[in-house]
Structure 1
Amino acid sequence: MIIRERKNEFVLIEQDHHAQISGIIMSYWKDSLFSAPEFRRSVEYAIFQHDCGWKPFDTDPFWNDKKEAPYTFVDFPLLPKLVLYKQGIDEVEKNDHYAALLCSMHYSAFLRNEALDEVKPFQINEEQRRERLIASLKIPDPSLPDSHYRLLQLGDNLSLYICLNEPGTTKEQEHPFFCKGIPLSAAFNKIEKDNIQLYWQDKQTIAMDPFPFRDKILITLKQKTLSKDQIASQGFLESYKKTSFCETPIQLMPSYK
């Protein structure tokens, strides 16, 4: 779950809804910047589905009694997180082996610096999975998976920017994840800048510089807003179940600064 806390309420965005936003954004990626277009369908499938393992956990979200707030994707306990990561990659693999390879790379990178002993079997299993998948795929250039994984990572970050910031926020008030923009790795060597800078023009418009997409992008932000009084009187899970999603259209466009 992605959470924005306000003074008297919480805004909640399910992980899979965030992933759908990332997929829509990256489906607009310029053809001229995409390496090995025969893999494009698989890459986009990986981006759309990279958080599918969170679905059952976000349908019945968890309350963090220590923080008196819903658990977020950041502080959610690691061991159940390993379970949902594996389940998600397993689900993607049923439909697309190359997409599963990218999702495995994505989650293994998240856990690279984790010291818990329980992480080691996960990393070993995912390394074996990737070796098996690579052996089954005809990949013309061994650098392609890393290049395509960077697209997944970029889409993830662009969607997180939308989800973690209050619509219309100023640069000074942006979430600290994005104070320097969103980095562009060496995999994007056709783009002459090192970071993508984003600016809220108003509550429904984000300007982007550079803009490596073929056209303006329209996405829908789907979220629930729960008051803290409601949670206190009805309980968190019941409040979440009873609250309807609110859908807000947001446009991403080139910056003309």
Structure 2
Amino acid sequence: MIRRDVQLADGAPGWALVSQIEHARIGALLASECRGRFGSVHASLIRDEVLVAIAAHDDGWREWDEAPQLDVKLGRPLSFMELAAADATTIWSKSIAIAEEIGPLAAWMVSGHFARLLEHSEHARHEPLASSWLAEIGPRREAWFATWQAIDPANRDLGVANEALQWLWTFDEASLWLCCSAPIMGEPLRAGGSFEIAGCGTTLEMKFAAISAAAASPDERGQATATPWRFDDGIDVDIESLIVPAVRYATPQELLAAGRPQALRWRLASPTACS
């Protein structure tokens, strides 16, 4: 569950809640519009698996999203960044199991994505549970890669697999920016700009920047750009969210019942189209 602070129409504090399933869907939407490596005849099946893996990489969160845990002290829904390592790795393992049903590349990608998150987590990576989870997933990733490569060794090497994983990282980061940080509901642009460098250091690196906020009105879209522009056309992005008052809740059911659905609408276009 993504939780971000917003101001309600009456000026009261609120939260915009976006499910992990929805966040992953937005990442896959952006990836599906991207030009790049997976356009050749030999790579088309790889592209299909990559896109499905991106769309499904957070499917292990489904039960949590449907009944989000609450912070026992504050009565607010826990953000995905506030989970204990035990809860996070349990959910990640569910996502990996779902990815394995898609194919060996999907399982290799999704497990690699979560391993990277854990390795970069200052508060979790030193926990014994995290170390044991990483030790367990390593040999499984090697087996998934070997199975995938054996299908077509001439066109399936580590470079291709790594680029597939970079697609997941890049569009996960781009989606998280839209869901978590890009200005919404009339919020002002931050000093210095509202932007995210997604896929930093990869061949897909892009700077996503907001020009205007996603408005509360369903007829208006926030404007954002990506540089360099790696898409054929502009992309309309509609993120399903639940807007709830920022008060203490006793149960997940009470929280969800207090919310009203609202789409966070964006138009992603090339910098030249927005100038």
- TM-score (normalised: structure 1): 0.86
> Could you tell me which residue of structure 2 aligns to residue 159 of structure 1?
175
**Which residue of the partner structure matches residue 150 of structure 1?**
166
In structure 2, C-alpha distance between the alignment counterparts of 1:34 and 1:154, rounded to whole Å: 18
Aligned partner (choices 232, 237, 257) of residue 219 of structure 1: 237
How many angstroms apart in 1 are the aligned matches of 2:91 and 2:78?
15
Describe the shift of the 1:209–1:171 C-alpha distance in structure 2 as closer, same or farther (beyond 3 A).
farther
State the structure with bigger RCO (CA 8 A, min sep 6), 1 or 2: 1
Question: Any idea what SS the aligned residue of 1:214 has?
Answer: coil
Work out the CA distance in 2 between the residues paired with 1:33 and 1:97: 17
Structure 2: which amino acid aligns with 1:156? Answer: D
- Give 2:18's aligned residue: 13
Which residue is 1:123 aligned to? Answer: 134
Gaps of 5+ in 2: 8-12, 215-220
Query: Could you say which residue in structure 2 is the equivalent of 1:254?
Result: 270
Q: For residue 22 of structure 1, what is the aligned residue in structure 2?
A: 27
The amino acid that maps onto 2:135 is I
| Bigger mean CA offset, 159-168 vs 105-114 | 159-168
Letter in 2 for 1:4: R
Does 1:99 pair with 2:111? no
Please report the RMSD computed on the Cα atoms of aligned residues, expressed in angstroms.
2.4
1:89 paired with 2:96, answer yes
What does residue 253 of structure 2 align with? 237
From the superposition, tell whether residues 61 and 221 of structure 1 become closer, same or farther in structure 2 (CA, over 3 Å). Answer: same
CA deviation after TM superposition for structure 1 residue 56, in Å: 0.4
Map of 1:56 onto structure 2: 63
Evaluate the alpha carbon distance shift between residue 220 and residue 235 of structure 1 in structure 2; reply closer, same or farther with a 3 A threshold: same
Find the aligned partners of 1:154 and 1:163 in 2 and give their Cα distance.
14
Measured after TM superposition, the shift of residue 226 of structure 1 is 0.8
Of 198, 205, 209, 1:182 maps to 198
Q: Which 5+ residue runs of structure 1 have no aligned equivalent? A: 189-193
- Range 238-247 or range 139-148, more displaced: 238-247
- Counterpart of 2:98, as a letter, is E
- The residue number in structure 2 matching 1:191 is none
Q: 1:184 Cα shift?
A: 3.3
Which of 36, 44, 47 is matched with 2:54 structurally? 47
In structure 1, C-alpha distance between the alignment counterparts of 2:238 and 2:245, rounded to whole Å: 22
Deviation at 1:31, TM superposition (A): 4.0
Note closer, same or farther for the CA distance 1:10–1:197 as it changes in structure 2 (3 Å cut).
closer
Q: 1:33 to 1:253 in 2, by over 3 A?
A: farther
1:135 paired to 2:154: no
Kindly state the Cα deviation for residue 174 of structure 1 after the two structures are TM-superposed: 6.6
Q: Relative to 1, partners in 2 of residues 1:171 and 1:6: Cα closer, same or farther, differing over 3 Å?
A: closer
Contact 1:197–1:210 (8 Å) recurs in 2: no
- In structure 2, the CA distance between the partners of 1:88 and 1:183, relative to structure 1 (3 Å rule), is closer
Indicate if the aligned counterparts of 1:29 and 1:213 stay in contact, CA closer than 8 A: yes
Same amino acid, percent of matched pairs: 20
The Cα of 1:93 is off from its aligned counterpart by 0.6
Give the distance between the partners of 2:157 and 2:76, measured in 1 at CA: 46
Q: Is the 8 A contact 1:62 1:237 kept in 2?
A: no
Q: Deviations over 1:46-88 (max 9, x none)?
A: 1101111111011100111345532101111210111010011
Aligned residues of 1:4 and 1:10 also touching (Cα < 8 A): yes
